[in-house]
Amino acid sequence: MDRTRITIFDTTLRDGEQSPGCSMNVQEKMRMAYQLDRLGVDVIEAGFPIASDGDFEAVQKIGATFSRPVVCGLARACQQDIDRAAQALKGAARPRIHVFLATSDIHLQHKLRISREKCLQQAAEAVRLAKSYCDDIEFSPEDATRTDIDFLCHVLEAVIQAGATTLNIPDTVGYSAPADFGALIQTIRQRVRGVDKVVISAHCHNDLGLAVANSLAAVAAGARQVECAINGIGERAGNAALEEIVMTLRVRPDQYPYDTGVLSEHLFPASQMLCEITGAPIQPNKAIVGRNAFAHAAGIHQDGMLKNPLTYEIITPQSVGVPDSTLVLGKHSGRHALNQRCEKLGYTFDRRELDEVYRRFVLLADRIKTVEDHHLQELVREARGAKPAASDRGEAAKTAAAAAAQNGGRGPLDMMIPPPAEATPSVLSRNRTPEHHGEQEDYLWGV
Ligand code: KIV
Ligand code: ZN
């Protein structure tokens, strides 16, 4: 069955670059635009042509280079901006001018210092002018979610009559909750004359961490375009994260029976490229593209993952372009994960050896947080009694020595590890016999 298609409007190169520290020059925007095209976004908002010569050039080049996606330039609702945007988009195969004007009383009184009447007239005039250059016109009533609903509906009706083809509803200050935002979209669909001839779009900011939830609520209420940015970058707390919206639609068709044209295996490369270009890192626990999104640390989880990844992953890493899941070896790891990593390093153990390596591993992990492969190699050598020469002790010993120095100067790795277990049996191991190797063992041991 064909699902309803949601237009993915990418604003990484416009709202996204308004993120402090994320501005991009023309070459950087071009590089990113190639990746957005590969990703399959429907609209690339390439910049704000009046803002700078560089932004003008970026919109111009991106517009002239790409013929599949719509390429969009932003303009305030005034002649100067609209003329400049139209000029930048002259050579574009699929140009769109995006006109915006604030409509909330807070913005009208304190920022623009104009009346509602003036705002209504200016919005319609601006859209008419933009329409004289280009068929595809998007209008955004800035701060829509704090705008009086009757006035908002009037403005939207006026801009439809003036030729707008997309009505974008911005939650400019990230104030909405999903139920409010969904209800707002529904009200607009019910009350604005001519709304059935245009596309309704959502543009959500993340000040309360609700940008993705609000965007999805808008889709459920009838919005058919979502504005979003790679890694969720954007003004202040950012825009809705493109990768989170796309993957939610993909993973939960039962809740959201909609499709996008995004090729999800290009999500992680796009995220990485953006980090590289802007130098802005993403939080490790960021959904979909963060370093830890497919990393498992707890022994119970690692054991489950080794038995079947479905136990702890709802998305395969490969489906979003992440090379593989990782099992991070640390103090929460169990023997199953340790054994598997050691096998990859070329070691095979009998049960008794594994017990000894594991005992040493846990002690080391307690001190150095993450146990890397070279630590393991060192540890196995020592567990097997082949003590390395003092000059050849390697990183594990150095790290352990440093940890030991902090810990009362008790010397290198082997000095830090007490003799085998009898003296301090774990509660779970106390009554174990060598035959006690059931399926559940790592589950219990790996905590
Ligand atoms: O957040 C906002 O209101 C905007 C508009 C220009 C759409 O970015
Ligand atoms: Zn915005």
Q: Coil, strand or helix: which one is 411?
A: coil
Dist. CA 182–CA 366, nearest whole Å: 48
Dist. CA 322–CA 325, nearest whole Å: 8
How far from 373 is each of 248, 305, 329, CA to CA, in Å?
35, 19, 9
* Nearest partner of 17 among 38, 40, 46, 39, judged by Cα: 46
Mean pLDDT of the chain: 89
How far from 408 is each of 116, 134, 165, 264, 402, CA to CA, in Å?
72, 74, 71, 51, 10
pLDDT band at 416 (very low <50, low <70, confident <90, very high): very low
To the nearest whole percent, how much of the chain has pLDDT over 70? Answer: 86
Dist. CA 13–CA 19, nearest whole Å: 10
- Pick the ligand that lies closest to the CA of residue 172: 1
Q: Which two tokens stand for residue 198?
A: 């245009």
At 2 the pLDDT is 83
- Pick the ligand that lies closest to the CA of residue 238: 2
Atom of ligand 1 minimally distant from the CA of 74: 6
Dist. CA 62–CA 442, nearest whole Å: 54
> What mean pLDDT do residues 255-279 have?
98
To the nearest whole percent, how much of the chain has pLDDT over 90? Answer: 85
Cβ(15) to ligand 1 under 6 A?
A: yes
At 386 the pLDDT is 57
How far, in whole angstroms, is CA 345 from its chain's centroid? 33
Answer yes or no: is pLDDT of 35 > 70.
Answer: yes
At 411 the pLDDT is 33
pLDDT band at 48 (very low <50, low <70, confident <90, very high): very high
- Rg over alpha carbons for the chain, rounded to the nearest Å, is 28
Kind and range of the H or E run holding 229: none
Residue ID of nearest Cα to ligand 1 atom 5: 142
Instruction: List, for residues 316-370, the tens digit of each pLDDT value.
Output: 999 999 999 999 999 999 999 999 999 999 999 999 999 999 999 999 999 998 9
> What mean pLDDT do residues 116-142 have?
98
pLDDT band at 263 (very low <50, low <70, confident <90, very high): very high
Instruction: List, for residues 193-230, the tens digit of each pLDDT value.
Output: 999 999 999 999 999 999 999 999 999 999 999 999 99
For the chain, the structural domain boundaries read: 4-278, 335-446
* Residue 6 neighbours by CB distance under 10 Å: 25
Distance 145 CA to ligand 2 centre (A): 12
CB-based burial of residue 40 (10 Å sphere; 0-12 exposed, 13-18 middle, 19+ buried)?
Answer: middle
Cβ(100) to ligand 1 under 6 A?
A: yes
Q: Which tops the pLDDT comparison, 206 or 406? A: 206
Cβ(122) to ligand 1 under 6 A?
A: no
Question: Among 115-129, 158-172, 271-285, 375-389, which is the least confidently predicted range?
Answer: 375-389
Atom of ligand 1 minimally distant from the CA of 15: 8
Answer yes or no: pTM beyond 0.75: yes
Q: Which of 140, 155, 181 to mutate to test the pocket of ligand 1 (most atoms within 8 A of CB)?
A: 140
pLDDT band at 413 (very low <50, low <70, confident <90, very high): very low
pLDDT band at 401 (very low <50, low <70, confident <90, very high): very low
**Of 262-266, 391-395, 408-412, which has the strongest mean pLDDT?**
262-266
- Pick the ligand that lies closest to the CA of residue 175: 1
pLDDT band at 406 (very low <50, low <70, confident <90, very high): very low
> What mean pLDDT do residues 42-47 have?
98
At 139 the pLDDT is 99
Q: Coil, strand or helix: which one is 145?
A: helix
Paired with 8 in beta bridges are 226
Residue ID of nearest Cα to ligand 1 atom 2: 172
Answer yes or no: is pLDDT of 437 > 50.
Answer: no
CATH number attached to the domain at 4-278: 3.20.20.70
CB-based burial of residue 237 (10 Å sphere; 0-12 exposed, 13-18 middle, 19+ buried)?
Answer: middle
Cβ(69) to ligand 1 under 6 A?
A: no
Q: At what angle do helices 267-278 and 26-39 cross, to 10 degrees?
A: 170
Per the CB < 8 A criterion, the answer to whether 403 and 367 are in contact is: yes
Biggest alpha carbon–alpha carbon distance for the chain: 86
pLDDT band at 442 (very low <50, low <70, confident <90, very high): low
* Residue 35 neighbours by CB distance under 10 Å: 19
- Pick the ligand that lies closest to the CA of residue 233: 2
DSSP letter for each residue of 288-334: TTSTTTTEE-SHHHHHHHHH-GGGT-SS-GGGGT----EE--BTT--
* Residue 386 neighbours by CB distance under 10 Å: 8
